[in-house]
Amino acid sequence: MIIGLPKETKEDEYRVGLTPGSVHTLVERGHQVLVEIGAGIGSLISDQDYREAGATIVMHAADAWAAELVVKVKEPTEAEYQYLRKDLLLFAYLHLASNRILTEKLLASGISAIAYETVQVASGALPLLTPMSEVAGRMAVQIGATYLLKTQGGRGVLMGGVPGVAPANVVILGAGVVGTNAAVVATGMGAMVTVLDINHDRLKALDDRFSGRLQTRYCDAVNVRQAVYEADLVIGAVLIPGGRSPWLVTREMLPKMHAGSVIVDVAVDQGGCVETTWPTTHSHPVFEVDGVLHYCVTNMPGAVPRTSTFALNNQTISYVVCLADGGLASLQNNQALMNGLNIHHGQVMHSAVAEVFGLPYTSPLDVLVA
């Protein structure tokens, strides 16, 4: 199969879809990999690194997109819509539930699109979302600590406090991968940490893991309000696989929060779990509503691309090999990839995406087997 690796076009996105190691794996299996010139520069991967791995360097994005399978990190941007076509298989983060325009473009093109974030194994785990959730969760606390500085517009609170002075109060909404990794860093910095979730097993696991170094609370409206009103830093870490995140922090709650407190809404890719969330970029990452700073960058791990690219490829390469070897037919024997199929030949193949936009849902099993 011919596999294309275009350079990312999303603003401030420095990750790349394949490492030289992944390219070498594909080439050894008889596949051809077309890498757009400069695709890996942001992750400190040179064109020569790709050449030595067996790739062919192409001069234009259109050349990479002309492949049978395109592997990316982030969703196609407006500049890339022209490359979408019916005989193309796209493998990338898509986050369609918060992007109706992209959903409509993919449907109209007839493309087959598999989303990293909805590839789901039998246990319910999301293996291709996990590495970036680990990165984003850890980054969220570092970023929150930065914006709590008075010089950055925050409350002027030190995360770990000092002897005789209380540490920062950090509230984490969601006890999944993002929330757990945020808790690791926040407790490590000495903050007072509270994690809320509706899954009792997750709360129990955190309670056991941290041995009393954080508090866990059931995530209902009353507990969320009480926690958020006392917080210096709120981290939104709620995930509905493939679907839009629910609003746990509403607009009317903001005036009751501390002036200069900070919200880092990691759930922004799926619409955010804070009503006042709207997407920002690394160049312009924050905005203020009712005295509360909001950090809502949609590609947080893109700021640490070297770490993120290699962490992502550790998980994606086995699935890329499966698609390269067998194309769409390989989904019939790989339920995780089948779960990842969001769009196919003008039809919505993921129930959560269909529900968000009120579109008809088609079972991928029925279509692909037929």
Residues noted as catalytic: 95, 269
In angstroms, the CA 5 to CA 8 distance is: 9
Angle between helices 177-188 and 130-147 (to 10 degrees): 40
Helix (H) or strand (E) holding 50: helix 47-53
At a CB cut-off of 8 Å and minimum separation 6, what does 267 contact?
A: 174, 236, 237, 238, 239, 245, 273, 277
Handedness of CA 299, 302, 307, 313 (dihedral sign): positive
Any idea what the Cα angle at residue 103 is, between residues 296 and 5, rounded to 5°?
A: 80
Q: Which strands form 233-236's sheet, in the order they lie side by side?
A: 215-218, 192-197, 169-173, 233-236, 262-265, 292-295, 286-289
Beta bridge partner(s), residue 234: 171, 263
Residue 138, amino acid: R
> In this structure, are residues 353 and 96 in contact, taking their beta carbons and an 8 Å threshold?
yes
- Assigned token pair, 102: 């992209």
- Rounded Cα distance, 274 and 63, in Å: 40
How far is 178 from 304, CA to CA, in rounded Å?
16
- Residue 363's alpha-carbon distances to 94, 109, 352, 366, in angstroms, are 19, 19, 12, 5
Structure token digits, residue 105 = 């473009």
